[in-house]
Amino acid sequence: MIKVLKNLKQSFWSVVIIIILLCVQATADLALPDYTSKIVNGGIQAGGIESAVPEIISKEDMEELLLFTDKDGEILDKYSLVGNELNTSETKTKNKYLGKEKNIEPDSIYILKDINDSEKEEFEKIISTPLMILTTIQDEATANQIKEKMTEGMTEIQKQIFASQSLMELIKGIPENQRDQILSSFTTQIEEMSDSIKSQAAISSVKTIYKNVGVDTDKLQNNYILFTGLQMLGVALISMVSAVIIMLLSARVAAKLGRTLREKVFKKVTTFSNKELLEFSTASLITRTTNDVQQIQMLLAMLFRVVVYAPIMGIGGFTKVLTNTDNSMAWVIGIAILAILFVIITLFIVAMPKFKKLQDLIDRLNLVSREILTGLPVIRAFNKEKKEESRFEKANFDLMKTNIFVNRAMSMMMPLLMFIMNSIAILIIWVGAHSIDQGLIQVGDMMAFIQYTMHIVMSFLVISMISIMLPRAAISAKRINEVIETEESIKDAPKTKKFDTNKKGLVEFKNVSFRYPDADTEILSDINFTAKPGQTTAIIRKYWKWKINNCKFIAKIL
C-alpha cells in the first residue's frame, strides 16, 4: 500500500493544503460544544452575566453585601466609587450596562476596576459567598425561617414588631456577633458547595444587583445569546467551508492517483510478452486496471480524514472532557470505546477472509466471461452452450454469495455502532441528571460532555469504516504492484543504434532460442537467418520431417 501511495508526490501541495484544512476543521468542530455550553449556562441560566463578580453595583447594595463578609477591604479595593468624572474604563462599563444617555449621580455607584482574568477569578471566590448569603436572605421562605429563629423566646408584641420589618433591616440592627451566629448554618452549607455551583448561585444575586442599578437585564441576556450565537455560526461556517474544500481536493487527488496507476499498469502491460500475459490472464489485468484502482481511489478519499482528522477529534475531544467539563463521567467514554472496538474487531475477524477472496472471484468471473464471448463460434459449433452457461453461473453465484456475506456483515456495523452511540447518550443524560441534581455540574456542561463524547465516538466510527475498506484496498494495491513490478522476459536493448536506411525491411535473427513458458527445453535453439527485403525466405523445420519419417519406421517394425 505504501508503494502505491508514493505516487501522491505529484499532488504534494494539494495534500499539504488538505492536512492544514483538516486541522482547521477539527479545531472548529471541537470549539462548538464550548459555545453550546456558553449559550445554555451563560445565556439562558445566567441571563447573559458571565461572571459572579458584579461590574457595577449601587452604594446601598455594596453596604448590604459587606454585612456578610469580613473581607471588606479586599472587596472595596477592587471597586471605585465614581464621582462626577469617569475614566475610560469606568465610562466603558457604564455605557455597557446603563447606556450612553443615562447619567449617574456622584458617589452612588461602585464600578469594578480594570483587572485581569486571573485576578477576577480569585476575586470571584471571595465575593461569591456573601453574594449567595444576600440571595438567600432575599428569598421569602428563607427569610421567614430566619425570622422565626430570631424571635424564639420573644413575646407576641416583639414578634409583631419584628414581622413588620424586613429581614435586611433586622440584620442591620443587630450586633455583628449575633448576626454571624444566626447566619452560621447557611454559611456552612455554602462553603461546602463546589466553586461552579457557588458561582452559578451568586450570579442570581448579581442579576438582582444589576436590576437595582437600572440595568436592562433582558437586553443584556439577548445581546449575550446573539453575540455567542453569531460566534458559533462563524465557527460552524469555517468548519463547513474547510470540509467542502477538503472533499474537492481529496476527490481530485484520488482521481489523479487513479489516472497515474492506470497509466503505469497500461504502459507496463504493453511491454509484456506472451509469458506474462498467460501468467496474469487478460481478465485479471482488466480487473487490476479498473476495479482495483477504483478501490484505492475510494480509500484515498477517506484516508486523510482517518490519518489526520479522526485522531485530532478523538484526542482533542478526550482532552476537552478532562479539562473543560466535569471528568467524573470519563468512564462513560471508556465504555463507549470498548463497545465500539468489540464490534469492529468481531466484524474484522469475520469479514477479512472474504475480502481477500472477493477480488479473486471478480477475476474469475471476468475470465469466464471473456472466454465465452471470444469463443462463441467454437462453443456453438460444438454445441457447448449449456456447459458454458453452467460455468458462468457457478462463477457468478460464487461472487454473489461472497458479496452478500460481506454486505450483510457490513450492514450490521452501522446499526450496531449507532445503537452504541444512542445508548451512550442516554447513559450520559442519566448520570448527568443525578450530578445536576446534586449540584456538581450544570446543564450546559452535560450538553458539552455529550457533544465531546459524540466527537470521540465518531472518530472511532471513521476509523472503523476505514479499517473495513483498508484490507480490500491493500489487496488491490498488492495486485497492482504485482503488475508494475513484474520483470519482462523479453526486454528491448537499453541503447538502440542509429537506424541504417540501407537495411530498411531487413529482418535478421542472431542466436535466437525459444521455449514455451511451461516447457523444460527450447523448441528453437541458436537460430540464425536473414530475411532480405523483396525476397522470399523459406523456413524448413527438419525436426518435424525427422519425426514423421521416424514414426513411419516404427510403424513398419510393429
Same domain for 24 and 51, yes or no, is: no
Strand partners, 58: 109
Decide which of 199, 226, 253 is a domain's last residue. Answer: 226
| Average pLDDT of the segment spanning 233-247 | 92
Is residue 393 a part of any domain in this protein?
Answer: yes
Is residue 549 a part of any domain in this protein?
Answer: yes
**CATH for 417:** 1.20.1560.10
pLDDT of residue 158: 63
Same domain for 35 and 124, yes or no, is: no
Whether residue 5 is predicted with pLDDT greater than 70 in this model: the reply is yes
pLDDT in tens, 173-182: 666 676 666 6
Is residue 204 a part of any domain in this protein?
Answer: yes
Distance CA 121, CA 129 (A): 14
Same domain for 287 and 333, yes or no, is: yes
Decide which of 455, 484, 513 is a domain's last residue. Answer: 484
pLDDT of residue 493: 67
Decide which of 207, 226, 245 is a domain's last residue. Answer: 226
Same domain for 217 and 239, yes or no, is: no
Residue numbers of the domain that contains 180: 45-226
Same domain for 316 and 377, yes or no, is: yes
pLDDT of residue 553: 42
Q: Which cell numbers in the block locate residue 119?
A: 485576578
Mean pLDDT of the chain: 79
Contact indicator for 217, 47 with CB cutoff of 8 Å:
yes
Cα separation values, 446 from 38, 40, 93, Å: 12, 10, 32
Same domain for 28 and 49, yes or no, is: no
Distance CA 437, CA 197 (A): 11
Same domain for 303 and 382, yes or no, is: yes
Same domain for 469 and 434, yes or no, is: yes
pLDDT in tens, 422-442: 888 888 888 888 777 776 777
| Number of structural domains the chain divides into | 3
Same domain for 512 and 524, yes or no, is: yes
Main-chain phi, psi angles of 81, to 5 degrees? -85, 105
Higher pLDDT, 469 or 202: 202
Same domain for 32 and 59, yes or no, is: no
* Region for 175 from its dihedrals, namely left if φ exceeds 0, alpha if ψ lies in -120 to 50, beta otherwise: beta
Is residue 495 a part of any domain in this protein?
Answer: no
Q: Which of 36-50, 238-252, 283-297 has the highest mean pLDDT?
A: 238-252
Mapping DSSP onto H, E and C, the string for 193-217 reads: CCHHHHHHHHHHHHHHHHHHHCCCH
Distance CA 100, CA 79 (A): 21
Whether residue 405 is predicted with pLDDT greater than 90 in this model: the reply is no
pLDDT category at 242 given cuts 50, 70, 90 is very high
Same domain for 82 and 200, yes or no, is: yes
Same domain for 301 and 222, yes or no, is: no
Helix (H, G, I), strand (E, B) or coil at 4: helix
